[in-house]
Structures are given as structure tokens and as C-alpha cells.
Structure 1
Amino acid sequence: MSHVGLLERAVTYTLGCLRAVTPEALSHPTPCHDWDLRALLWHLVDSLTALHEAAADGHVPLDSDLATHDDPVTAARDRARDLLGAWTAQDGRAVSIGGCPVTTDIVARAGALEVAVHGWDVARACHDTRPIPRALADELYPAALLLVSAADRPARFAPPLTPKTPDDRLLAYLGRG
């Protein structure tokens, strides 16, 4: 299941980015408008939880009941490990999101995009220049074209930018540079 491998690579990249987080960095601004690093990390934990529910339970409710944790980095690491285990065991059945069936391939690709790009956001907030690996970014780019439309801008994504290099094409499309 290539989509599970894609999700695994995105999670691995993001786990590497989490190593740069220090307690002092939690108040740093992020590329996500109006979010500090602490808020971004809790959003990432929520996303990782939803991806785990998709694989383990076969559905994702539209409302979240996220339990708080003292340390968002530890919570993100724990949720990342849990979701990889659940996706490895996932049997390929469709996932219900808010009552609508969605293929596991689409859910995993959307999740990989979310996780990798927010990993990049975490790195930037910590002044770490770790890029999304080129092969991963190239594989996520078609998912971004499919999943992010003009209706998502400017509320969820900034307007697309002109990429400076081919390596920047994914992030530029998502309004990050």
C-alpha cells in the first residue's frame, strides 16, 4: 500500500523536525498566520489523532474531543507512533469522514500532506532549515493540487507563490516560501 509508505515518510520527516522544538520556541510565530508554535503543535496532534481514527475506527468525526497533554511535542510523537501502527494494520476499507465515504488512499495522502507541511512549519518556527525531502515533496504535490483549491484561500492557505527552485514547488503552491 504505497499510501501507507507515503504517510510513514511524512511522519518520519515531521518527527525529525520535532527534535528542534525547545520550551522557549513554543511561543515563536509559525508560517501559519496567527499561530504560535504551541498552537500549531496542538493542531498537528489533532490531525494525527484524526488520521489514527480513520485507520483504526474507519471513521473520523467532524468534531474533535482532543484530550490535552502537558507537552505538545510528546503528544505529537505519541500520536504519530499510534497512527503508523493503525495504518499498517488498516485493511483498505473506505473511511467515513463526517458520514461521507472516502478511499483510504485519499485520506492517507491528505494526511501525509498535512503532516509533512506542518513538520516544515515546525522546523521554520524553530529556525531550522530542514527541507521536506525532494522525493516526498514531489509525491505530495499532486495531492496538493487535488486537495487545495481557490476556495481554501486565503482562509486556510495563502495565495500560491512562484517557486524559486523546483524543490520549492509544493510549498510555493501552498503559499509558503
Structure 2
Amino acid sequence: MRREPAVMDGVALLERAVTYVLGSLALADPAALRERTPCRQWDLRALLAHLADSLTALHEAAETGHVPMTAPTGAGDDPVAAVRDRARLLIGAWADPGRGTVSIEDHSLTAGVVTCAGALEIAVHGWDIAWSCAAPRPVPDALAGELLDLAPLFVSDVDRPHRFGLPVAVSTGASPSDRLVAYCGRDPSVSSAQS
């Protein structure tokens, strides 16, 4: 069965975001789990639990074509391992070319939209993980540039300041990674050690 180009691009984008977040996870050790994150209300453990739940929802979307609105499952005693395991399972689940749409409550979205939204969340949280570990790790330029083009579709004024912070001003010469995380309410010029 042939996959539609938008779905192929969404799955490829998701795969690249997962590769990036796995690299950021390599920086997280148990001592870092209490470190704060750019998401002001969360420490790294809470961020990883949120990311684990997001990965589970994206996996369900691939497996069943539906995202259940259930209580979060969390990440257990080893949130780094939980995120790593769920990220790897996620990529395998989206390898099936047959998924065309995904339902979320009473809404139907294309698989391309779901995978692109997932890629954005995963990549930005990959940046957050590295920030929390005081080891800046920019989102790769090509990935950040593509996600930056899509970000206005998934992050609007309605999402601010609850799901995302207000955009942060950056210089005109800022990297694609800095522009992406700034659009999502993170200050790329502030390291975790400074703030």
C-alpha cells in the first residue's frame, strides 16, 4: 500500500524528532531528575512523565487510529528508560503505511497532522531535557527549520500562556533551533545554570 506524501513526511519528521530526543535522554541521569525545566511548573521527572504519556498517545494513534482521552500513565520509577522505550516503540508503530486518519474524541485528523504535531512536541521537549541537564543541545537545523514552518499550525495564541509560554524575542540571525524554541516560549539564551 502506498503512503500519501504528507503522511510520509510526517512520519519521517517524527522519526527525526525521536532520534533527537533519544540523544538528549543520554544526558539525563538520576541526579538530574529533580532539576527544573523551561516548563516552569515541572522538574525533569515531571517533564519526562508528560513526554512518556505523549509518546503513549502517539503510539495508540498509530496502533488503533484513535487517541483515548484517559488518565496519564506516567513514567514509573525510571522515567528516562520509560521515555526511551516508548520512543522506540513509537517509530515501529508508525511504520505501517495504512494509517490515514486518527480520531481524537470526536475529531478526525490526518495521520500527517498527528505525526507532525508529535514531532514538534518531542523535539521541543528534547531541547528541554538537554537544558535541564545543563548541556545545551540545539535541535538540528533542518529539523528545527521544518518544525518552525509547522509550529504556527500547532501553537496559537489560544495555547498561550497555558500550554506554551509567550514567544521570546530572538535576534534576526538566530539559529533555526533558537527560533523554534523561542516561538514555543523558551528563552534559548538562558542556560539552566543561569536561571
TM-score class, shorter: over 0.9
The alpha carbon displacement at 1:65 in A equals 4.8
Deviates more, 1:20-29 or 1:68-77: 68-77
Partner of 1:71: 78
Report the TM-score when normalising by structure 2. Answer: 0.87
The percent identity for this pair of structures is: 56
Partner of 1:171: 181
Q: 2:57 aligns with which of 50, 57, 65?
A: 50
The alpha carbon displacement at 1:66 in A equals 1.4
Partner of 1:60: 67
Q: 1:16 aligns with which of 1, 18, 23?
A: 23
- Distance in 2 (alpha carbons) for counterparts of 1:67 and 1:140: 26
Q: Check the 8 A contact 2:75/2:83 in 1, yes or no.
A: no
Matched, 1:152 2:162: no
The alpha carbon displacement at 1:90 in A equals 4.2
The 1:142/1:133 distance shift into structure 2, 3 A limit, reads same
Letter of the 1:21 counterpart:
A
Q: Which runs of 5+ in 2 are unaligned?
A: 1-7, 188-195
Count the aligned residue pairs. 177
Q: Which has the higher helix share?
A: 1
The alpha carbon displacement at 1:68 in A equals 4.8
Q: Check the 8 A contact 2:36/2:132 in 1, yes or no.
A: yes
- Distance in 1 (alpha carbons) for counterparts of 2:33 and 2:45: 5
Q: Which runs of 5+ in 1 are unaligned?
A: none
CA RMSD of aligned residues (A): 1.2
Partner of 1:141: 148
The alpha carbon displacement at 1:169 in A equals 1.4
The 1:176/1:93 distance shift into structure 2, 3 A limit, reads same
- Distance in 2 (alpha carbons) for counterparts of 1:130 and 1:159: 22
Q: Structure 1: which 4+ aligned runs deviate by more than 6 Å?
A: none
